[in-house]
Every structure is written in structure tokens, then in C-alpha cells.
Structure 1
Amino acid sequence: MTLYFMDGKFTEQGELNISIDDRGYYFGDGVYEVIKVYGGELYTAEEHISRLFQSAAKVKMTIPYSEGQMLEIARELALCNTISVGHVYIQVTRGAAPRTHQFPASTVVPVVSAYAIQNPRPTSNIDNGVPVKSVEDIRWLRCDIKSLNLLGNVLAKQEAYEVNCAEALLHRDGVVTEGSSSNMFGVKGGTIYTHPANNLILNGITRQVVLGLCQELAVPLKETAFTIEEAFKMDELFLTSTTSEIMPITSIDGHSIGSGIPGTLTRKLQKAFALQIPSIIAGE
């Protein structure tokens, strides 16, 4: 039996009731988070929940639970659904109300829903790397908000998918921002570069983990944007996300990056990341 969370209670899928007037359905008026589960334990859960509340605040939405309560909901879902390796998805919409663009009355309560799913690590892609496609970044200017408005990301991912690429490398006015569902890093001359955490990218939790690992390992890192032309000339490229972890990029638009195989610094960071998660070392 799979348990979900909605309207303040844990329930089975057949008992879920989502209103057609939900503003998430009409406008994408909501925020979300994805928390990784390793060995049955939530990974960087506090950071994800904190970002969920930050995103909600940025769109003037009040989540009807505390951060501690949301953490307990996520833990309960992972436990009750016996998730060993997978993730917990949490979504908050502004609630159900007649369709108008302006916010509904303050009496309308935001809808919190969540579920947990078994989802194996993409070990082949992590080990061997993936190709990406460069795609113009046409999204809105508040990419720092992890909102449900993902159509721009969906279109970019589909464009990459149609040419057998794992991800879209987004660029705005020639400057690499991030991926359609990931953050981008380049390596040149032993220094790692990544776009600064401003309104043009989502400050990924795994991105933040990598920044911490670089500091621990004394690897030079600059939060400095690089261009699409510079990306082609990088010694190494890799992407990060909750579900992709630290994933090497072997080519852009069919052009090999470096030697065309995962690079030394990427491998070093992958090993350091794995040491934080015993279940990875134990083969899950």
C-alpha cells in the first residue's frame, strides 16, 4: 500500500481529492521540493525544507505547517513507504478558489501534498557521463524560486531529449546559466566555475554541497559565469541535482569536452560526495 500526504493526513492514492479550482492547476501557483533518500534516510532534508519555505515567502504564500512539521511529514512518507533509495516530493499550492489572477481571499488555505517513491541512482550516467544540448534560456527572471511554473524547463528538456541528450545546457545572451533541471559547473586549469546564485538560477542543494566539498578539498572554485563558447573549451564539465548527484558531461552538441570522458576533478568530487553517504559505498 502506497501512502500519500494531503489535506493534513496520510492516505492512499484512491482517496486523494484534488480540486479543479486548485491554483496549481490553473496558474502553476505553487512551489515544490524534492528530497533524496539514501538507505532509508533523508539527505540534506533541512536544507530542502528551508528552501521550500524561502520559495513560498518569495511568492507571498504561507505554508500551514512549520519547517519541523514538514520534515516529519517527509520522514513519515519515506518510512511508511519503505523507501531505501528514492525521493520525497513535496508540493504547496495557494489553494482552491474560483479562477482569478489575483490572490484569493486570505481564508483560502494552501494545499500541501507529498509522496515518496523508490528511485534508483543513475549509476551508469554518473560513471560514464552524459551528452547535453545547448538551448537558449527563455525562462522568466525569477529562477531562484522553485515554483511549479516549469514549462520553459520542460521545453528545454524535450529539445535535448529529442537529440538523445540527457540534459539541456541553458544559456542567456551567450552566458551559461544552468540546466533544465540541474546546475552547471565547468573546470578549466584546475579551477571550477559556476554561475553565481542570483535570480537567474536555482541555488541547488547539491550545488551547495559541491561548494562545501570544494572548500574541504581546497579545490579552487569561482562563482563566476562562463559563456557558451568557454563551455566548449572547458577541460571538464559536470552537472548537479538531487537525483543526478554529480554527473559528468562528456559532450555539448556532439562536441567532446576535454578528452570526452569524466575528468579528474569531477571524479574527486564524486568520491567525496559518496563518502558522505554510507549507503552509496555499501552498494545500497
Structure 2
Amino acid sequence: MATGLAFRNGQFIPASDLSISIHDTGFVLGTTVAERVRTYGGELFAWAEHLARLRESLAIVAVNPGFDDTFLTQAAQRLVENNRTSLPDDSDLSLCLFVTPGERGTPLVVIYTEEVAFATFASLYRGGQRLITSRIRQTSPENWPPQLKCRSRMHYYLADHEVRQIDPASRALLLSLDGLVTEASTANVMLHLPDEGIVSPRRETVLPGISLQVTERLAGRLGMAFTYRDIRPDELSRADEIFLCSTSPGILPVVMMDGQAVGSGAPGEVFGQLLSAWNEHVGLDIVAQALRFGGAAG
């Protein structure tokens, strides 16, 4: 739940006063460009990268928000400085910035914060995530390019709904129309293959995940091979480890794929090395923080 201050079209207002018109194009057509960023130790993480991706998405949909990067950065930092004071000590914020075409030609620009939803992933660092391949396919790049970070996510909703009828604790893995591995719902996917190292779907076929890029750099520092290429579904069973990357948790292990254990069925050695590298990179123990504020739920 958004609390504290929020930003709406140049004005700072109580977050409780945020609203969107029923006539806004972002609501009517789902044409909402969005970025979600989190803080680590109270500092916005990879903000410049998120802002650059936002600009790329806005260019795709031909919407000018009317504010430059410096202004948006200052607005975001003001919200973080103000709103983090209401958090428990050592917790962190999740910040969402979204832009719609608005109504009658006036774009809507909103920034708000809330505490990171630790309870949704805290237990997964140790217990692992389960994935099931959905019959729902990733949207075609002929509809909109994968580089567009938007809120048009009906396919994710339907895919997760489908797999949760099979296993309520599972998330969906989506294939492309060509039958290749793309993404999980709202997360990038990586496989560790014993004879190849870490592989992830070709960059041009999936959302350019910020956490994925961070993980690639950290893997390089650890001397791990990292390749982007097409991945066939049958290769999933060859992986001794599978990982998910997204903003709030950073990186998570997958322990079951389509009902079969991944590797030993527990988070593996490579995940442990990458997680340690993440901890060092962000300057805190992300598992301890998540467990402290998210408990055992997940």
C-alpha cells in the first residue's frame, strides 16, 4: 500500500490522494509504461538504468512525459527521503514510476513508494520457486517489442492462473510463439548447464531486465561463463540450476520445473555464489533482510 508522499504531474501530494481517471488511456487501453525500482540501504538501486529503459519504452509508445531525467530523479529522491522515515529501521522501499498518455492529450506521470513486499519472496531464497510451463504464450514481437516495459500483462495473469490450478505455489514459464523459452511472469530466466555455464534467452527476445544485467556482470566477476541464446524447452531438464531475476528479490532459485526437481531439488552452489555476490554488490544481506521483514510467508 502506497504511503507518505506521492508525485503526480509535477505536484507532491499525499499518496492516499492518488487516483486515475476512468477515461485515462492507461486505464481504458492498458497503455501504461512503468518502472519499478527498489532501494538497498535507502538508496535507489540502478536508477539510471531503469530511467534509461523508461525513456526507451516512452519512445516506443511516442509519449513525452514533459519532465526531464534530472527532474524525475529529484522527485524520486525526495519521495525516498521523505517516505523511508515511516519504515522500520533497515527496511527498504519499492518505488514505482508510471506514465500513461492520459486523457485529451495530457500525459499522466505518477511516482509512489511502498515498503518492499518481502513476504512475497522471503521464503524462496531457501525454499526455492517452482515453475510450470504454461500453454499461454509470450506476446508476439509483432504486437509490441519485448523491450517495452508496460502494464499490458493479461498474458502473465492468464498464465499464472493456469499453472496455479495445478500447483498454487508455482509461477508460469512462458514460451514464445516459436516454442522457445522466454520469461517467467514478471521475471527473467537463466539456466545453468554443466557443460556451458549460465544461459539466458537472446536479449532481443525478452525484456532487458536490469537485475539480469546485474547478475551477468556479477557472474563475470566470478569467472562464470554467461551466454545469451535461444533455449529449447527440452534443455530445461538438462539444467542443474535455474534462476529468476527481478527487481524486488534480485535473484531467486528455481527448485522444480514442470514437476521435476531441478538438480538436487534445493538451491545450488552457483546460486549461492551469485547470491553472495549480490549481497556484496548492494551492501547488505538480502536474505536476512527479507526474512526479517517478510517472515516465513512467501
> Is the structural similarity TM-score above 0.5?
yes
2:106 to 106, 109, 112: 109
Listed as ranges, the matches of 1:150-165 within 5 Å are: 150-162=153-165, 163-165=167-169
Q: Give 1:170 deviation, angstroms.
A: 1.1
Alignment partners' CA distance in 1, 2:15 and 2:78: 16
Query: Structure 1 CA distance, aligned partners of 2:38 and 2:83?
Result: 14
8 Å CA contact retained: 1:85, 1:120: no
Whose helix fraction is larger, Structure 1's or Structure 2's?
Answer: 2
SS of structure 1 residue aligned to 2:102: coil
Please give the secondary structure, in 2, of the residue aligned with 1:19.
coil
Change (3 A) 1:140 1:124: same
- For 1:52 and 1:155, locate their aligned partners in 2 and report how far apart those are by CA, in whole Å: 25
TM-superposed CA distance for 1:154, in Å, is: 1.6
**TM-aligned CA deviation for residue 203 of structure 1:** 0.7
Q: 1:17 to 1:184 in 2, by over 3 A?
A: closer
Kindly report the root-mean-square deviation, in angstroms, between the aligned alpha carbons of the 2 structures: 1.8
Shift of 1:281: 6.5
Aligned partner of 2:294 in structure 1 is none
Question: Any stretches of 5+ residues in structure 1 without a counterpart?
Answer: 98-107
Conservation of the 8 A alpha-carbon contact between 2:38 and 2:116: no
The alpha carbon displacement at 1:14 in A equals: 4.4
Counterpart-to-counterpart distance in 2, 1:14 and 1:186 = 42
Identity %: 29
Counterpart of 1:85, as a letter, is D
> Does the 8 Å CA contact 1:133/1:165 hold for their aligned counterparts?
no
Match of 2:72 among 58, 70, 73: 70
**What residue number does 1:196 align with?**
202
Structure 2 CA distance for partners of 1:32 and 1:243, relative to 1, 3 Å:
same
Which residue number corresponds to residue 251 of structure 1? Answer: 256
Aligned length: 273
More deviation, 257-266/166-175: 166-175
Of structures 1 and 2, the one scoring higher in RCO (CA 8 A, sep 6+) is: 2
State the match for 1:127 in structure 2.
Answer: 126
Superposition misfits of 4+ residues, deviation over 4 angstroms: 281-284
Q: CA deviation at 1:151?
A: 0.9
Deviations 1:111-138, CA, capped at 9 Å, x for gaps: 1011100125433201221111111324
Corresponding residue SS for 2:207: coil
Query: Do the aligned residues in 2 keep the contact of 1:3 with 1:80 (CA within 8 Å)?
Result: yes
Please state how far the C-alpha of 1:272 moved relative to its aligned partner: 0.3
Secondary structure of 1:149's match?
coil
- 1:184: Cα distance to partner? 0.4
Query: 1:211-226 counterparts in 2 under 5 A?
Result: 211-226=216-231
CA distance, structure 1, for counterparts of residue 164 and residue 126 of structure 2: 20
Aligned equivalent of 1:96: 103
Provide, for residues 184-241 of structure 1, a one-character-per-residue CA deviation record: whole Å limited to 9, x for no partner: 000111510000111x310100000011112211101111121111112211101100
The more displaced of 159-168 and 113-122 is 159-168
> Partner of 2:296 in structure 1?
none
